[in-house]
Amino acid sequence: MELRVLPVDPSQKKPIPKDDSKLGFGRVFSDHMFQMEYSTDKGWHNARIEPYHPLTLDPACTVLHYGQEAFEGLKAYRGAKDGIFLFRHRENLRRMNASCRRLVMPEIDLDFVSDALKKLVLLDRDWIPHSPGCALYIRPNIIGVDPFLGVKPAENFIFYILVGPVGAYYPEGFNPVSIWVSDRYVRAVRGGIGEAKTGGNYAASLLAQKEAKQKGFSQVLWLDAIHRKYIEEVGTMNIFFMFDDEVATSPLDGSILPGITRDSVIQILRKWGVPVVERKFSIEEVISAQKSGALKEVFGTGTAAIISPVATIHYQGQNYTVADGKTGPLSKRLYDFLLDIQYGKKPDPFGWVERIG
Ligand code: COI
């Protein structure tokens, strides 16, 4: 398939934000986007990079009623010698295809989309922030667009990629966040769509998220939907607990998002010789470890959140403080290491980082 590039008229270029400290997350988008369409007779076609634009959708279309969609989140970094770097971006595209299979949507061609994504990032490279911790967020999205109200998989889809400069996901930045354990709502159950990156999982989280915010917490920590006791994940990140010298995170058993930062952290810890296990553990185990002093650190991992230390866990009316409410040494070491390799500042022993410009 041919990829057309239709650059924006210079007179229509948008102002690039100057103050990286005010970027926040996900509010600003660059001058261009990638888009292509799918139909059962033509497959994916009409691939182009063109000026950022609103989509025109039939009000009856599948995604607007039945949520048939999947998305990804990844970043391009401006680093050493003004180089532009991607981090494990093919893993995101692979995961997108896994989400597409679960949501009965056509898969994308990894090589083609990887190439289009790089061209888009380089075309809008002036939008990539210069400050450490800031990056160009890349949001691929696939939506079902059949104008039909019957419940069935769509036959027509739009795939597009948006990019925009971002700072820290949480207003706290790299400072520790507080999380609220939901024992009333659940996010996902095995056999459902919890392991797919699809809007429905985030829609399911909104009410709990709103209640957590009202109580002064940044995020919700989800427990498993059946026993309501095993730790699953946090709103926008996977989560790790350090019990004495061992780090534990929940296994990928069907209801948890298989995070790429999660996988990277596991591999980094193994390389460092820090014991790390994927196992089921309950909120009671966490609370009793906190009480005995065995709970050393808690941190979340995610593309948007990077490494996010947790200072407070709220469960059933009680606040439990972790690491004296500070950023623990392991969280800090992981954060520094990840950023150093993502920004091309230190050698990447894993071969995860690709310089594209
Ligand atoms: C990411 O970490 O990139 C995500 O997709 C989380 C998000 C929903 C903001």
Write down the domain spans for the chain.
4-166, 177-342
Determine which residue's CA is closest to atom 3 belonging to ligand 1. 73
User: For residue 65, what is the enclosing H or E element?
Assistant: helix 62-66
pLDDT digits (tens, 9 = 90+) for 222-264: 999 999 999 999 989 999 999 999 999 999 999 999 999 999 9
The CATH number of 4-166 is 3.30.470.10
To test ligand 1's pocket by mutation, which of 25, 136, 236, 260 has the most ligand atoms within 8 angstroms of CB?
Answer: 236
Q: What value does the mean pLDDT of the chain take?
A: 96
DSSP conformational letter for 7: P
pTM of the model: 0.96
Q: Is 302 a pocket residue for ligand 1 (Cβ < 6 Å)?
A: yes
The number of beta carbons lying within 10 Å of the beta carbon of residue 294 is 16
171 pLDDT exceeds 80?
no
Contact partners, residue 16, CB within 8 Å, separation at least 6: 126, 127, 165
pLDDT of residue 170: 77
CA of 74 to the centre of ligand 1 (A): 8
Share of the chain above pLDDT 70, in %: 100
Separation between Cα atoms, residue 138 and residue 140, nearest integer Å = 7
Query: What tokens were used for 79?
Result: 């680093």
Contact partners, residue 98, CB within 8 Å, separation at least 6: 195, 196, 258
pLDDT digits (tens, 9 = 90+) for 58-101: 999 999 999 999 999 999 999 988 999 999 999 999 999 999 99
Separation between Cα atoms, residue 167 and residue 133, nearest integer Å = 6
pLDDT digits (tens, 9 = 90+) for 100-142: 999 999 999 999 999 999 999 999 999 999 998 899 999 999 9
Separation between Cα atoms, residue 345 and residue 357, nearest integer Å = 15
Counting atoms of ligand 1 from 1, which one is nearest the CA of 259? 2
Architecture of the domain whose range is 177-342: Alpha-Beta Barrel (3.20)
To test ligand 1's pocket by mutation, which of 162, 195, 265, 303 has the most ligand atoms within 8 angstroms of CB?
Answer: 303
pLDDT of residue 55: 98
Q: Is 73 a pocket residue for ligand 1 (Cβ < 6 Å)?
A: yes
